[in-house]
Amino acid sequence: MENIDWNNLGFGYIKTDFNIRCTYKNGNWGDLEVSDSEYFPMHISATAIHYGQESFEGLKAFRGKDSKVRIFRMDENARRMQDSSAGTLMAQMPVDKFTDAVKKAVKLNEKFVPPYESGASLYIRPVLFGSGPQIGVKPADEYMFIVFVMPVGPYFKGGFQTTPFVIMREFDRSAPRGMGKYKVGGNYAASLVAGKKAHELGYSNIFYLDAKEKKYIDECGAANFFGIKNNTYITPKSLSILPSITNKSLMVLAEEMGMKVEQRQVPVEELSTFEETGACGTAAVISPIQRIDDYDENKSYVFSKDGKPGPVSEKLYNKLRAIQYGDEPDKYGWVTLV
Ligand code: PLP
Ligand code: COI
C-alpha cells in the first residue's frame, strides 16, 4: 500500500485485490465466490443494460485507534437493497448473504482500509443486476450480485467544510410515485446533466425540489438534506427521496443530544429560517452547506458567513464519526467488527 496517499484520497475508483460475487439461477442464489478480476462476461441482452434492472448500495468500513475494522449498519443496506429489488422485480438477496459478502470483501481487502489518523475509510459497493437475457420489457431470470471495495476520502471538496449548493427548477430527479425511493442506477443517470450544470456554475451539487409542486426540498443527487433551527433537526419527508441510513442515524443522535426531530415537508422559503443546513449520506457524511442559491428566483440563502460549519452540524458529525471509528461506545449496535 506504499503507493496510496491515505491523507489525500478523493472519492474515486481504486482497484483492490478481491471482489465477491454470487449468481442467482433457476430460482436460487449460489455460493459466494471470490474473484480477483475487475471484469465479468455479460449477455448482450441482459436486462440491466437495456432496461436498467439494477440497484446498488454504498456503505463504509472504518479502522479504529485500536486498528480494528468496523462496518457501519450493513444490515440496513441489505434491507434497502431488498426494497430496491422489490421495486424493480429483481431477485432479493437474503440479508445474511449480503452481510457475509460484505464482511468477506472487507476482510480479503483489509490492507486497503485506511489508517485511523487519515480520517479516510473503505467504501463498500454492493451491486445487483439482471444478467439474464430478455428483449421484451420483463424481469430477468438470472441475477448477479457483486461486492467490491476501495479506500476513499471526502465526496465533496474539502471534507468537513462548507460548500455552496443550488436549486434549479429545470431538473427533476424522480417522480413522487416513481423510483426515487429506491437506490437504482437510473436515478443517478437522471442526475448527470443537472450535476454537470451545477458543477460548472461552481456548486457542489443541486437540491431537487419535489417534482409535482416544486414547493418542497427533496434531496440532492447523492445525499439527503437537513436543516437546524431552535434546537430542532428538520429533514424532508417525501415519496421521492432515498431513505438515507446516515440521516436515520443522525436523527437518533440529534435526539440523544436533546434536540427535537421533525421529518416533514420543508418548503423552499423555510430555508431563510434555518441556522445551519447540511447534506448527509454515506459518501457525503455531513457536508455542511455554506449557502443555497435559488437559481430561478435569483435568491441566496446563506448559512455560514465565515465559511465555517455550524456548531450543531459539527457536534453531529463528531458524534457519528466517533461511533464509526470506535472512539465512542456503540450503544445502538450499529457497528460490526470484522
Ligand atoms: N440520497 C441519495 C440519492 C443517495 O444516493 C444517497 C447515498 O447513498 C443518500 C441519499 C444517502 O444515503 P445513505 O446515508 O444511506 O448513504
Ligand atoms: C453513497 O453515499 O453511498 C452514495 O451512493 C453516493 C454516491 C456515490 C452515489
Instruction: Please report whether residue 312 resides in a domain.
Output: yes
| The ligand 2 atom nearest the CA atom of 11 | 8
Residue nearest to atom 9 of ligand 1 (CA): 223
Total residues found in the chain within this entry: 338
Q: What is the DSSP letter of 6?
A: G
Between the CA of 77 and the centroid of ligand 1 the distance, in Å, is 10
For the stretch 261-274, what's the b/e string if a residue is b when 16 or more beta carbons lie within 10 angstroms of its beta carbon?
A: eeeeebebeebeeb
Please report, in tens digits, the pLDDT of each residue of the chain (338 residues total): 668 999 999 999 999 999 999 999 999 999 999 999 999 999 999 999 999 999 999 999 999 999 999 999 999 999 999 999 999 999 999 999 999 999 999 999 999 999 999 989 999 999 999 999 999 999 999 999 999 999 999 887 767 899 999 999 999 999 999 999 999 999 999 999 999 999 999 999 999 999 999 999 999 989 999 999 999 999 999 999 999 999 999 999 999 999 999 999 999 999 999 999 999 999 999 999 999 999 999 999 999 999 999 999 999 999 999 999 999 999 999 999 99
Cβ 273 vs Cβ 301: under 8 Å: no
Clarify whether residues 148 and 169 are in a common domain: no
Instruction: Please report whether residue 158 resides in a domain.
Output: no
Clarify whether residues 255 and 278 are in a common domain: yes
In three-state secondary structure terms, 91 is coil
Residue nearest to atom 5 of ligand 1 (CA): 222
Which cell numbers in the block locate residue 283?
459518501
Clarify whether residues 137 and 180 are in a common domain: no
User: Which of 241, 331, 315 is closest to 281 using CA atoms?
Assistant: 241
Model pLDDT, residue 2: 60
Clarify whether residues 128 and 223 are in a common domain: no
Cβ 284 vs Cβ 278: under 8 Å: no
Instruction: Please report whether residue 169 resides in a domain.
Output: yes
Residue nearest to atom 3 of ligand 2 (CA): 58
Instruction: Please report whether residue 25 resides in a domain.
Output: yes
Long-range CB contacts (< 8 A, 24+ apart) of 268-273? 268/167, 268/209, 268/215, 268/216, 268/217, 268/294, 270/227, 271/217, 271/227, 271/301, 272/301, 273/229
Q: In the beta sheet, which residues pair with residue 313?
A: none
Residue 120: which domain range?
6-152
Selected catalytic residue, list 60, 183, 215, 315: 183
Clarify whether residues 139 and 180 are in a common domain: no
Residue nearest to atom 9 of ligand 2 (CA): 222
Chosen domain end from 102, 127, 152: 152
Compute and round to an integer the Cα radius of gyration of the chain: 20
Model pLDDT, residue 155: 83
User: pTM for this structure?
Assistant: 0.97
Instruction: Please report whether residue 243 resides in a domain.
Output: yes
Model pLDDT, residue 221: 84
Clarify whether residues 320 and 195 are in a common domain: yes
Between the CA of 221 and the centroid of ligand 2 the distance, in Å, is 9
Ligand 1 neighbour 126 (Cβ under 6 A): no
Q: What is the CATH number of the domain that holds 209?
A: 3.20.10.10
Angstrom distance (rounded) from CA 188 to CA 143: 21
Ligand 2 neighbour 222 (Cβ under 6 A): yes
| The ligand 2 atom nearest the CA atom of 188 | 9
Model pLDDT, residue 102: 98
Can 315 be counted among the known catalytic residues?
Answer: no
Angstrom distance (rounded) from CA 233 to CA 258: 10
Which cell numbers in the block locate residue 33?
465466490
| The ligand 1 atom nearest the CA atom of 180 | 3
Angstrom distance (rounded) from CA 222 to CA 282: 9
Which cell numbers in the block locate residue 110?
483489509
| The ligand 1 atom nearest the CA atom of 80 | 15
Which cell numbers in the block locate residue 109?
481487502
DSSP string, 181-230: TS--HHHHHTTHHHHHHHHHTT-SEEEEEPTTTS-BEEEETTBEEEEEET
Model pLDDT, residue 1: 66
Residue nearest to atom 6 of ligand 2 (CA): 222
Between the CA of 35 and the centroid of ligand 2 the distance, in Å, is 24
Instruction: Please report whether residue 157 resides in a domain.
Output: no
Instruction: Please report whether residue 335 resides in a domain.
Output: no
Chosen domain end from 152, 186, 211: 152
Chosen domain end from 152, 173, 189: 152
Number of domains in the chain: 2
Clarify whether residues 100 and 215 are in a common domain: no
Ligand 2 neighbour 326 (Cβ under 6 A): no
Model pLDDT, residue 223: 97
